[in-house]
Structure 1
Amino acid sequence: MPHDHNHDHDHAHDHGAGHSHAPSVSAANERGVLTGFALTAGFMLVEVVGGVLSNSLALIADAGHMLTDAAALLLAWVGFRIGRRASDARRTFGYMRFEVLAGLVNAVTLFGLVLWIVWEAIQRLRAPGEVLAGPMLAVAVVGLLVNCLVFWILHRGDQSHVNIKGATLHVLGDLLGSVAAIVAALVIHFTGWMPIDPILSVLVCLLILRSAWSLLRNAFDILMEAVPPDIDIATVRAHLRQTVPGVADVDHVHVWSITSGKVLATLELTLADEAHAARVVPAVKRALAERFSIGHATVEVVHTPQAQCALERRGRHTHHHHDHDHAHDGPHGPERAR
């Protein structure tokens, strides 16, 4: 509903007790990401050599995927480190969004990898080459074990963070790639049918695309400051009106994420007659935190016309008494007790 913005506005801005802008990523999660990077980067070199020696597109594609995995894990780790840097006068929320940018890079690299694999697969289907099943199978089995280990390490982390989720999706794609390489090696060993190698590579790409799109959309929504998917603005307004005493109306509600798990909100609160902002505003902040996990809220308070008139009358009454008291003062100020 429209409001007369000539009314007095009270602004309340509170970070809440113990509120911090730093991403709540534990040291154990950081170590897990760094360990995953070391394992992935190390085996990626092994897989490149195995793919070239065996002439397997499935292995080469998986090696390329592991290269992007290593980059994704390194970006995630760097994102966590930089994200904890303190805020300053220029970046009042610090560097928390660095991890979202890293997540966006992860998603884009997945799409790029898929396009490259599909292109190579088409070329190989046109002109199939001989693939050495023995070396291909050995490397693929070891790759599967390494990917399972890295996936287990990352899956124990906080999946609500865009970077840990992105790195986990990368490794999941690698795990599927290793399975495809094993199947292709077995088919080639027992049947000699070479096209199975590029065909399974393309099938793995189709599985990766869905995860890549989800990751890209999540990072894009955060950067565009979209409302988090688990929050509905109409529900927020209704909840505050119905559950917080003294709230007459809620308008101009904006809810967005500064980074994964850090939800912010601004809103305009109309107080009911006789309601006091000092009591209502903290109650609104508690309701936002408990019901919607919004830990950082800025509330602008306006009064109904009737309440505004009452405030103005009280203000004039107080001013009148103040002038009346000064009228009884002596020429040199208030009379002193003798």
Structure 2
Amino acid sequence: MAHAHEGTADRSPDRGHRLLIALALNLGITVAEVVGGVLSGSLALIADAAHNLSDAGAVLVSYIAWRISRRAANEKRTFGYARAETVGALINLTALIMIGLYLLYEAGSRLFEPTEVVATTVLIVGAIAFVEDVAAAWVLRKDLGSLNVRSTFLHMIADALATVAVIASGVAIMVWGPAVSWIDPVVTAMIAVYVLIHASREIREAIAVLMDSAPKGFHHDELVARLQGTAGVSDVHHLHVWRISEDRTALQVHLIVDEPELSAATALKERLKRELHDDFDIDHATIEIEAADGIEHDTDLVRKE
């Protein structure tokens, strides 16, 4: 009999509410900066508004992914939609890596071809953006266990750091004049490297989930030894361990047993499922029992490559 299993993603509305608050903060600042830029004729304000709009897009992607992940399992998606959040994280992290590479390019261009920076406008724009970025990051702080939310949080942190660089360069230019305009591209390059390092780490996690990799910290040999050392089990083959989502792990294994009678096999499976859950954090285990009939089995999926 087939069973559909739902994911264990955060189904409470709290995460969605916090993402919506972060989205509202980004959109509110975007509108304010556009209005201020038009009234004052400041291109810097309008440019920063466009940047905030891209952040709002990242939050929106995370929110949509979270909403999809809450859908119940069905006949087509028997494991549920929990991986939607991983897909959302992959989209945001890919965009963040592209932004980091662009910042490096822009920093290099400005270092060799300096542009005039209006310090007063820079400080105003920086102060407004910094408040918004910190507020949005603070709102999302409770959901950092989610890769999807972390991808958006990293957008906010990157912006906050960039804003600190903007403010610092503005103050430096006001104090020492245009001669220190090089500070802006140098600090921007440092922030770009920081963003690229962290985004690269997180995107590897997203890809690992989507590639059905075993969870971090999983000890293959220890699991095989436990299964092979179980009373009544003579061999183990076709062992697969993968993540259905960030916080849910599945296992499939074939066990060759000495006594394949139904009652004994059922008791063995139930006991092993409890042990796998308690000792290896396996949320969903499928165990196939086979008789020790002398047939040679393929053990390639048990050996550690």
TM-score, with structure 2 as normaliser: 0.84
Higher RCO structure, 1 or 2 (CA under 8 Å, sep 6+): 1
Match of 1:225 among 205, 212, 222: 212
Structure-2 change in CA distance of 1:143 and 1:254 (3 Å): same
Q: CA deviation at 1:104?
A: 0.8
Aligned to 2:129: 143
Secondary structure (helix, strand or coil) at the match of 2:274 reads: helix
Looking at structure 1, the residues matched to 104 and 260 of structure 2 have their Cα atoms a distance apart, in angstroms, of 68
Aligned to 2:268: 280
> Does 1:238 find its partner at 2:222?
no
Structure-2 change in CA distance of 1:54 and 1:123 (3 Å): farther
> Does 1:23 find its partner at 2:36?
no
Is residue 37–residue 70 contact of structure 1 (8 Å, CA) maintained in 2?
Answer: yes
Q: CA deviation at 1:54?
A: 6.2
Per-residue CA deviation, residues 278-300 of structure 1 (Å, 9 max, x unaligned), is 11101111112112221111111
Is residue 54–residue 132 contact of structure 1 (8 Å, CA) maintained in 2?
Answer: no
| Residue correspondence of structure 1 range 44-83 to structure 2 within 5 A | 44-46=30-32, 60=47, 66-83=52-69
Structure-2 change in CA distance of 1:211 and 1:145 (3 Å): same
Q: CA deviation at 1:63?
A: 5.6
Looking at structure 1, the residues matched to 32 and 122 of structure 2 have their Cα atoms a distance apart, in angstroms, of 11
Match of 2:235 among 239, 249, 255: 249
Is residue 133–residue 185 contact of structure 1 (8 Å, CA) maintained in 2?
Answer: yes
Structure-2 change in CA distance of 1:65 and 1:288 (3 Å): farther
Is residue 6–residue 79 contact of structure 2 (8 Å, CA) maintained in 1?
Answer: no
Looking at structure 2, the residues matched to 184 and 261 of structure 1 have their Cα atoms a distance apart, in angstroms, of 42
Match of 1:295 among 260, 275, 283: 283
Match of 2:250 among 244, 264, 268: 264
CA RMSD of superposed structures (Å): 2.8
Is residue 8–residue 247 contact of structure 2 (8 Å, CA) maintained in 1?
Answer: no
Aligned to 1:180: 165
Aligned to 1:312: none
Q: Which moved more, 1:217-226 or 1:66-75?
A: 66-75
> Does 1:88 find its partner at 2:88?
no
Aligned to 2:105: 119
How many correspondences in the alignment? 288
Secondary structure (helix, strand or coil) at the match of 2:102 reads: helix
Is residue 151–residue 172 contact of structure 1 (8 Å, CA) maintained in 2?
Answer: yes
Q: CA deviation at 1:303?
A: 2.3
- Listed as ranges, the gaps of 5+ residues in structure 2 are 295-305
Structure-2 change in CA distance of 1:21 and 1:84 (3 Å): same
Q: Which amino acid aligns with 1:226?
A: S
Is residue 250–residue 267 contact of structure 1 (8 Å, CA) maintained in 2?
Answer: yes
Larger Rg over CA atoms = 1
Match of 1:197 among 184, 209, 218: 184
TM-score, with structure 1 as normaliser: 0.76
Q: Which moved more, 1:146-155 or 1:231-240?
A: 231-240
Aligned to 1:163: 148
Q: CA deviation at 1:78?
A: 0.8
Structure-2 change in CA distance of 1:47 and 1:291 (3 Å): farther
Q: Which amino acid aligns with 1:239?
A: R
Per-residue CA deviation, residues 83-118 of structure 1 (Å, 9 max, x unaligned), is 122332222223322221111111110111122222
Per-residue CA deviation, residues 205-228 of structure 1 (Å, 9 max, x unaligned), is 011011110121111111111111
Is residue 83–residue 96 contact of structure 1 (8 Å, CA) maintained in 2?
Answer: yes
Secondary structure (helix, strand or coil) at the match of 2:227 reads: helix
Aligned to 1:216: 203
Q: Which amino acid aligns with 1:163?
A: N
Looking at structure 1, the residues matched to 292 and 238 of structure 2 have their Cα atoms a distance apart, in angstroms, of 16
Looking at structure 1, the residues matched to 194 and 154 of structure 2 have their Cα atoms a distance apart, in angstroms, of 11
> Does 1:101 find its partner at 2:87?
yes
Is residue 13–residue 299 contact of structure 1 (8 Å, CA) maintained in 2?
Answer: no
